Structure 1
Amino acid sequence: MIKRVLLVDDEPNILNGYKRHLRKQFDVEVADGGAQAIKRLENDEAYAVVVSDMQMPDVSGVQVLAHAAKVHPDTVRVMLTGNADQNTAIVAVNEGRIFHFLNKPCQPEQLAKTLDAGLRQYQLLRAEHNLLSKTLGGSVSLMTEVLSLVNPTAFGSSSRIRHLTRQICSRLSIANAWEVEVAAMLSKIGCVSVPQETLEKWYGAKPLTAEEQKMVDTHPLVGANLVRKIPRLKGVARIIELQNCRMDKPVPKGDGPAEEIPLGARVLKVLVDYDALISSSSATQTMDVIANQRKTWYDPKVIDALRVVLQESEVIKSLTIAELKLGMIFDQDVKTNDGGILVTKGQEVNQSIIERLQNFQRTQGVQQPISVRELICEPAKDPVATA
């Protein structure tokens, strides 16, 4: 069990006394005052428990515990105070989100019992977080794999959109970037209800019947309703639902005022339309079409970010199977020598795909070279891991 704890007080004698009594039971570190505590919280790995005195000059205990909650949300926070009035308790609970109050002076035995309880709470929080992250990540992975099998055209689109989304979120410093990226990954999950031939007509810019157009138009709502069934993805579902909303048409919200379109949905609107248009025209022509609708259909700052991303972060290469690298994006369908499709355009190169291509190369042959896009950026992280 992790037993790393931080004790914060502006009286060195008190800190040294606590450390002397507790060092055999816990991995104790001390901070002489609030400013030093915040510096430790910024620079060190997470502490299981932080215990802070309330009344300290310059930086109060509430500020210390509030900062701990911000940078390490799972850290258990304990308040030491000799001024346990109602107002103190309210401020500490609301801003520091504390686990326990202790009155000063506090006996080492009482502090040790509180630290034991805090450590157990920390382990419980970490276990729940890890379980939820794995469950959430597994659910997202399962849905994308189902989409790749049921509707490869839609899967290829969401894969292409995802990689551009990651770059745009970084450039725009979007706070909940993980939600937007997961929304991009699942943006076409509602297309499981749309026949493959209808999607191929849509992406090929061919006329759709009224019934086909209705299926295409409603796939975001279908997808959002599916995603809402997964815990913690309510925000993701909302982005998916509103991915086709135009800037000049505010979102209705019952009988109340119109709702602003979430920034994540505005990012998806640009990328969804870009991906649909580029299948039948060049990147330059596509961006010109999108730019003509600035401020009416699209968020101008998203368009500007996309231009920069396309100019700076993508390189087109023609490679053999042996030259493929993880993280590259297929810029064309990969086919066997007799024309069978092995990988659809837009999928990310991963180890299983490389092995599949190697196997087909030995048996049936694979058309080479293969056109791929390589993103000049840091390796991607699992967005769910940051949730």
Structure 2
Amino acid sequence: MNKRVLFIDDDERILAGFRRNLHSHFEVDVAVGPEAGLAKVRDNPPYAVVVSDLRMPGMDGIAVLAKVRELRPDTVRVMLTGFAELEAAIAAVNEGNIFRFLTKPCETGYLIGALTAAVEQYRLVMAERELLEGTLRGSLKMLSEVLSLLRPEVYGRAARIAPYVRPLAKLCGDPAPWQTEVAAMLCLMGYIVLPEGVVSKVERGRQLSADDAAVYRQHAEVAAKLVANIPRMGHVAKSIAYQEKNFDGTGFPEGGPTGKELPLGARILRVLLDFDRLTGAGLAKAEAYKSLKQTTGLYDPDVLAALGEVLGEEGRYVIVKMAIKNLREGMVLAEDIFVTRGGQVMKVLPKGYELSDVALAHIAKLARYDSITDPVTVIVPSDV
């Protein structure tokens, strides 16, 4: 369980006291002043709790904890001050969503109790998120599989863009990448209401008549409405609704947000769906990316730059067949490795496993006595 607690104060002696008195109960970290504190929140793994002094030069604790809320929404925030001011307490609670407002000097036992409650609150928040992201994602995956049965060619598009979604979301600073992944999974659900002829024209990149275009525009709205019926999927539904909206405000639906006001998920979908359409038409990935870059106004420049970075990283690796005797440490399995023993087929190592010296020795031993996958499909740097 995450028990990391960050104390932000401009008095180094107070911070030293916190570290000395609380280190046996929590993973205590300290920062002298608001700037150093926010830098630690931004650059380090999430803290369960951030405790800030109210009165500090340059930025008060209210502003600090409000900024912490922006950077790490799940981190529990506690205010600690020597001034028991009602107005300050009200402002802290309203502006920073403070979990506790404590006054100095704070008796160690009481502080430990308050921080224990804060850590438990963080655990509950993260447990709820895990439930939401895990259980809900499984349910949504079932919906996407319905699409795969009804429109397998359309499901193929969603499956092809999926590997790019999380890397793009991460590079673009998406605070909830799982929501963007869900949006990508379900963005084409509306195709189930489109006539076969319209879907065929779209998939082949053919020009749509005015009537067909009007019908086609319904798909994003239908998918968004379906998803909006699921609790807490409002943001996902909005990303799906604006997937055909251009960065400059053209496209559909008409009106509404433009530019950076569009949901980040929608801006990512806009790029990836067109990228897939171009590669599906026969263009190499580099050429498809170049075509997107040459188009003015349709795409978020930051998302395009992120796609270029992802493609560049992708281009550094290739998938090859490798004889077992040539496998080396650090190679990543592109397919499962199986062994046949006594007529039974058993998995030895899973796809995605990075080979180590121990794994290589185990594979070599199995190869001497059993029938094992050989050659093995692995991912290696392109210069190997």
TM-score, normalised relative to structure 2: 0.64
Match in the other structure for 1:385: none
In structure 1, the partner of 2:120 is 120
Aligned-pair distance for 1:133?
1.7
CA RMSD in angstroms, aligned pairs only:
4.7
* CA distance in structure 2 between the aligned counterparts of 1:58 and 1:245, rounded to whole angstroms: 42
The aligned amino acid for 2:116 is D
Residue matched to 2:230: 230
In structure 2, the residue corresponding to 1:102 is in which secondary structure?
strand
Equivalent residue, structure 2, for 1:268: 269
1:294 pairs, out of 284, 293, 296, with 296
SS in 2 for 1:56: coil
State whether residues 270 and 302 of structure 1, in contact with CA within 8 Å, keep that contact through their aligned partners in structure 2. Answer: no
State the match for 2:155 in structure 1. 155
Residues in 1 aligned to 2:320 and 2:17: alpha-carbon distance in whole angstroms:
66
| Letter of the 2:224 counterpart | A
How much has 1:15 moved relative to structure 2?
4.9
Q: Provide structure 1 residue ranges, at least 5 long, that are not aligned to the other structure.
A: 329-349, 353-373, 378-387
Query: 1:265-344 residue pairs with structure 2 within 5 A?
Result: 265-276=266-277, 279-280=280-281, 282-283=283-284, 294-295=296-297, 298-299=298-299, 301=301, 305=305, 308=308, 312=312
1:79–1:139 Cα change, 3 Å: same
2: CA distance between counterparts of 1:375 and 1:146? 35
Within 5 Å, give how 1:65-104 maps onto structure 2: 65-104=65-104
Equivalent pair of 2:319/2:380 in contact (CA under 8 Å) = no
Relative distance call for 1:272 and 1:51 in structure 2 (3 A) is closer
Following superposition, the deviation at residue 276 of structure 1 comes to 3.9
Which position in structure 2 is the counterpart of 1:220?
220
Structure 2 counterpart SS, 1:74: coil
- With over 3 angstroms needed to count, the CA separation of the structure-2 counterparts of 1:90 and 1:285, relative to structure 1, is same
CA contact (8 A) 1:153 1:199 kept: no
Q: Which residue of 2 aligns with 1:62?
A: 62
- Report the Cα distance in structure 2 between the residues aligned to 1:30 and 1:306, rounded to whole angstroms: 33
Give, in whole Å, the separation in 2 of the partners of 1:23 and 1:375. 44
Q: Does 1:259 align with 2:257?
A: yes
8 Å Cα contact 1:52-1:64 kept in structure 2: yes
- For 1:310 and 1:38, how far apart are their aligned partners in 2? 29
Matched, 1:146 2:143: no
CA distances 1:204-224 after superposition (whole Å, capped 9, x unpaired): 356889987665332211111
Q: Which sits farther off after the overlay, 174-183 or 97-106?
A: 174-183
Higher mean alpha-carbon deviation, 144-153 vs 3-12, is at 3-12
**Any idea what the Cα deviations from partners look like across 1:334-364, whole Å, max 9, x if unmatched?**
xxxxxxxxxxxxxxxx969xxxxxxxxxxxx
Cα deviation, residue 156, structure 1: 1.0
Cα distance in structure 1, aligned partners of 2:4 and 2:98: 18
Show the counterpart of 2:184.
184
Shift in CA distance, 300/106, structure 1 to aligned 2, threshold 3 Å: closer
Percent of aligned positions with the same letter in both sequences?
35
| Equivalent-residue separation in structure 1 for 2:201 and 2:79 (angstroms) | 63
Paired residue for 2:132? Answer: 132
Structure number with the bigger relative contact order (C-alpha 8 A, sep ≥ 6) is: 1
Per-residue CA deviations over 1:251-285 (Å, capped at 9, x if unaligned) read 678xxx75326264355345434544554554598
Deviation at 1:290, TM superposition (A): 6.7
Question: Residue 240 of structure 2: SS of its match in structure 1?
Answer: helix
Render the CA deviation track for 1:27-62: whole Å, top value 9, x for unaligned. 262636325544554565443333333223455433
| 1:166–1:177 Cα contact (<8 Å) kept | no
Q: 1:134 to 1:168 in 2, by over 3 A?
A: closer
Distance in 2 between residues matched to 1:59 and 1:44, nearest whole Å: 21
Write the letter of the residue equivalent to 1:157. Answer: R
Instruction: Judge conservation of contact 1:33–1:56 (CA < 8 Å) in 2.
Output: no
Question: 1:242 Cα deviation (Å)?
Answer: 2.5
CA distance in 2, matches of 1:180, 1:375: 29
Map residues 344-363 of structure 1 onto 2, 5 A cutoff: none
Match of 2:26 in 1: 27
Change (3 A) 1:185 1:31: same
Letter in 1 for 2:257: E
Give the equivalent residue in structure 1 for 2:109. Answer: 109
SS at match of 1:139: helix
The answer (yes or no) to whether the contact 2:275–2:288 under 8 Å persists in 1 is yes
Distance 1:68 1:307, change over 3 A: closer
Aligned partner of residue 101 in structure 1, secondary structure: strand
Distance 2:206 2:229 in 1: 34
What amino acid maps onto 2:153 in structure 1? Answer: T
The alignment partner of 1:62 has SS state of helix
Letter in 1 for 2:110: Q
CA change 1:322–1:177 in 2 (3 A) is: farther
**2:193 and 2:302 mapped to 1: Cα distance?**
29
User: TM-score, normalized by length of structure 1?
Assistant: 0.64
Shift of 1:154: 0.3
Whole-angstrom CA distance in 1 between matches of 2:323 and 2:140: 30
Partner SS state of residue 50, structure 2: strand
Structure 1 residues 351 and 245 mapped into 2: Cα distance closer, same or farther (>3 Å)? Answer: same
3-state SS of 1:105 partner: coil
Ranges in structure 2 where 5+ consecutive residues have no aligned partner: 325-331, 336-349, 353-378
User: How many positions carry a matched residue from both structures?
Assistant: 329
| CA displacement at 1:153 relative to structure 2 | 0.2
Q: Which amino acid letter does the alignment assign opposite residue 116 of structure 1?
A: T
What SS does structure 2 have at the residue aligned with 1:141? helix
Look up the match of 1:243. Answer: 243
